[in-house]
Structure 1
Amino acid sequence: MHDSDPALVDDFRAAMRRVASTVNVISICVDGEPMGITATAMSSLSVDPPSLLVCINRAAAMHAPMEDVTHFTVNVLHRDQAGIAQMFADREKHALRFASGWEVCTTNPPRLADAQAALTCRRIDHHRFGTHSIFIGVVESIAIRDEVAPLVYLDGDYGGVS
């Protein structure tokens, strides 16, 4: 870990609250059980091959299993899915997470049926940095919702793009 200046850390947090981010649920399947986490740190990495990176906090329950899975799905949330984002961010609602609206099987990562987009990736690499790890995946399948209206997170609140 680094011994960062506390004032710089506070200013960094304040600056990041001013960056609008698309909200995603990253999902995996571990020993036949679905797992997921709300994340805004996702980005396209390359078009050739189509690939993404996602960043997961090393303190998150999903971090260790994510290091070992072969596949993960990035479920890009639609603006009407703030409740899903909140559910996957709340550890107390763990049992409700995959109760409805999900395509769940025992071998593939769960896919949110009406997500803005769902991209299933083969995890090929990961790198630890600071409090997080960067996971890289090559996209193997994509499902897209017709309407383009992603859920965004800005200044500690969920919203949509007008």
Structure 2
Amino acid sequence: MDGADPTLVDSFRQAMRRVASTVNVITVCVDGQPMGITATAMSSLSMDPPSLLVCINRAAALHSPLEDVSHFGVNVLHADQRHFAAMFADRQQQHLRFAEGWELDPAHPPRLEDAQASLLCRRIDHHPFGTHSIFIGVVEHVTVRDDIDPLLYLNGHYGHAQI
């Protein structure tokens, strides 16, 4: 971390472990091949136009392809989809990632069929910052699941909270 105070870095890490985040699988399709990773750094950006941002580590395999594609998908996981979060976070399970439960189309990013929500985004910009890049997408299509119970990540663990 480019000269950052190690005590501050550790304190910041501890603070962020106390922030509950939804768990998402970010997807792209490159030359007809689906790719994806688990990410918690996703946020709405604007309602006009409907847009969001995702933050991706520059060391992640998805980072470079995401810089070059026209569209990406954000699949917000439901509490019963914890296995997808683990699978997309584990490079050794890469061959299993899209085996079942996905709508695959070589012209579009993969969409998880029963996700809490799936958003198709046109990538319009990205900004490198520190270890990550911020990718901005304008939402072009949304699919939502009726029952609301998103998978959450807090203090290094998956969970959920029904409201």
Is the shorter-chain TM-score for this pair beyond 0.5, marking a shared fold?
yes
Residues 1:44 and 2:44 aligned together:
yes
Measured in 1, the distance between the counterparts of 2:159 and 2:83 equals 11
Measured in 1, the distance between the counterparts of 2:61 and 2:3 equals 25
| Corresponding position of 1:15 | 15
Q: Deviations over 1:78-132 (max 9, x none)?
A: 0011110000000000000000000011110000000000000000000000000
Q: Deviations over 1:35-72 (max 9, x none)?
A: 00000000000000000000000000110000000000
5+ long unaligned stretches in structure 2: none
| Corresponding position of 2:29 | 29
1:4-153 correspondence to structure 2 within 5 Å: 4-153=4-153
Measured in 2, the distance between the counterparts of 1:138 and 1:10 equals 34
Measured in 1, the distance between the counterparts of 2:73 and 2:65 equals 14
SS for the counterpart of 2:67 is helix
SS for the counterpart of 1:9 is helix
5+ long unaligned stretches in structure 1: none
1:2, distance to aligned residue in structure 2 (A) = 2.8
SS for the counterpart of 1:110 is strand
SS for the counterpart of 1:2 is coil
Across the aligned residues of Structure 1 and Structure 2, the Cα RMSD in angstroms comes to: 0.7
TM normalised by structure 2 equals 0.98
Query: Percent identity over the alignment?
Result: 71
Question: Residue type matched to 1:61 in 2?
Answer: A
Runs (4+) of structure 1 exceeding 4 A deviation are none
TM normalised by structure 1 equals 0.99
